[in-house]
Structure 1
């Protein structure tokens, strides 16, 4: 995150602060893993079937 050398205790980050920043970026959707488009209609049907 900040460019400082990594520390063994928080690898691959330099500090817990940088690790927390990275985790926050995943939670907010700033990082994404590309994949095929999601069909919202089919997802809703699958969720209803899972509830049974």
Structure 2
């Protein structure tokens, strides 16, 4: 079964498959219109800007530990 989606720009139906080069858009034209809208700031990710958080030494240590746990290639060999 092939998924069908609506083009975000013109709402034309698009088949979601490898042959659809511009998916989810129906054409290069609709894709470029969307890029232009982002460049003109007509589209925005709507999440409120969070205020700055003052980090203390304990918070930084916890962040560093968490980062090192998930990125083992940064750990010196023993």
| Cross-structure match for 2:14 | 6
CA apart distance, 1:2: 0.9
Where does structure 2 lack aligned partners over 5 or more consecutive residues?
1-8, 52-78
TM-score, normalisation: structure 1:
0.60
| Cross-structure match for 2:35 | 23
Larger RCO: Structure 1 or Structure 2 (Cα < 8 Å, ≥ 6 residues apart)?
Answer: 1
Dislocated runs of 4+, deviation >3 Å:
none
TM-score, normalisation: structure 2:
0.42
CA apart distance, 1:37: 6.6
Would you tell me which structure has more strand in proportion to its own residues?
A: 2
Work out which of the two has the higher radius of gyration on C-alpha atoms and give 1 or 2: 2
Q: Equivalents in 2 of 1:37, 1:21: separation in Å?
A: 30
| Root-mean-square deviation over aligned CA pairs | 2.0
CA apart distance, 1:9: 1.0
